[in-house]
Amino acid sequence: MSVHKELNKKKMTIGDFKKYKEEGRKFTYVTAYDFTTASIVNESDVDIILVGDSLGMIMLGYDGTTAVTLEDMLHHIKPVVKGAPDTFIVGDMPFGTYNVSIEQAIQTANRIYKETGCDCVKLEGGAEMADTIRAIVKAGIPVMGHIGLTPQTAGMLGGFKVQGGTPESAKQLIEDAKKLEEAGAFSIVLECVPKGVAKALTASVSIPVLGIGAGPYVDCQVLVTQDLLNMYGEFKPKFVKQFADIRKAMVDGLNQFHKESVEGEFPSAEYSFNAKVEGFEVE
């Protein structure tokens, strides 16, 4: 039995990232952390899935991402790879698994890439991560960068705040993006940055910039699935548009199940095994 439909969807390749940028073709990128959600995203037109360390909050109920372990990531990336065979899948490197040494970073990237079958790894940080990125790419693993608001080190940035809000910090972000491209990153997530800064940064590199809270002038729009479908709850950053209300649909469905069950309406004959067993007859 397979949940997968025959789809007319072509999985993106690493080569497509640069090609799409050159052609000015926009694309989209969302999160998934489990098989079922991955299979739903796979059936949609969305191009990329991130198994992000945001699973710390969304799947594990933590306050942030720093406590997420490599084992947590491996556990969640594997079912997503199974659930979305037609979609490019990114495996996030969690905090503390690449900041000790370049060797540690290569070992972490090897485990994520080899044990899960995802299509690349993602790590956070600007110019200071260039040597690490270079080494992972040299080891044969594609790397997606992540600059701007970097949630793993949000404490160092003074909290979950817009980044690049001064001319100096905006120029630094652009320098970071160029350094990541030089180091061999094939794309860069840019999080929580004013749209004018994002526009200049996107024009300054030849690899695609994947924006979350970075306005309309980037190459690809990114959102957390549980935010854009309103599954996670009350928390809603400014940059999130809710495109559906799945939380309400689920609560309504659960309430209907409860009501029909306690009132005896469910399960009717349609949902029961009706074979007559001698001595056990019912009306």
Binding region for ligand KIV (CB under 6 A): 31, 50, 52-54, 92, 146, 189, 191, 212, 222, 224
> Which of 77/141 has CB closer to ligand KIV?
77
What token pair was written down for 99?
Answer: 């900041």
Q: How far is the CB of 56 from ligand KIV (least distance, A)?
A: 8
Q: How far is the CB of 132 from ligand KIV (least distance, A)?
A: 17
Q: How far is the CB of 134 from ligand KIV (least distance, A)?
A: 21
The DSSP element (H or E) to which 120 belongs, if any, is strand 120-122
Q: Are 48 and 220 in contact (CB under 8 A)?
A: yes
In 198-237, beta strands by DSSP E:
209-212, 220-223
Closest residue to ligand KIV, based on beta-carbon distance: 52
> Which of 28/266 has CB closer to ligand KIV?
28
Q: How far is the CB of 283 from ligand KIV (least distance, A)?
A: 54
> Which of 64/184 has CB closer to ligand KIV?
64
The whole-angstrom separation of Cα 43 and Cα 8 is 9
Distances (CA, A) of 95 to 56, 183, 242: 11, 20, 29
R_g of the chain computed on alpha carbons: 22
The whole-angstrom separation of Cα 231 and Cα 213 is 19
Catalytic residue numbers read 191
Q: How far is the CB of 261 from ligand KIV (least distance, A)?
A: 36
The DSSP element (H or E) to which 147 belongs, if any, is strand 143-148
> Which of 52/145 has CB closer to ligand KIV?
52
What token pair was written down for 141?
Answer: 């693993």
186: left (phi over 0), alpha (psi -120 to 50) or beta: alpha
What token pair was written down for 112?
Answer: 């994520």
> Which of 140/155 has CB closer to ligand KIV?
155
